[in-house]
Amino acid sequence: MKARIAPSILSADFARLSDEIGTLVAGGADMIHLDIMDGRFVPNITFGEKMIDTVRKLTSLPLDVHMMVEEPERYFESFAGAGASGMTIHVEAAPHLQRQLARIRELGCKAGTALNPGTSLATVREVTTDIDLLLVMTVNPGFGGQEFIPASTDKVARARQLLDDTHSGAALEVDGGIARDTIASVWRAGADTFVAGHAIFGSDDPAAEIKALRDICLETV
Q: What is the pLDDT of residues 29-65, one digit of tens each?
A: 999 999 999 999 999 999 999 999 999 999 999 999 9
**Centroid of chain to Cα 85:** 12
Work out the mean pLDDT of the chain and round it to a whole number: 96
Q: Which residues share a beta bridge with 193?
A: 4, 173
For 124, residues 6+ apart whose C-beta sits below 8 A from its C-beta are 91, 97, 113, 115, 131, 134, 162
If you count DSSP H runs as helices and E runs as strands, how many of each does the chain have, helices first? 8, 8
Known catalytic residue at 175: yes
pLDDT at residue 183 in the model: 97
Annotation says 215 is catalytic: no
Cite the DSSP H helix spans in the chain: 17-26, 49-58, 76-82, 97-106, 152-165, 183-189, 198-201, 206-219
Among candidate residues 35, 64, 130, 132, the one labeled active-site is 35
Q: What is the mean pLDDT of residues 174-186?
A: 97
Single pTM value for the model: 0.96
When pLDDT is averaged across residues 162-171 and rounded to a whole number, the result is 98
Which is the catalytic residue, given 38, 130, 132, 175?
Answer: 175
Helix (H) or strand (E) holding 36: strand 32-37
Q: What is the pLDDT of residues 84-118, one digit of tens each?
A: 999 999 999 999 999 999 999 999 999 999 999 99
SS3 193: strand
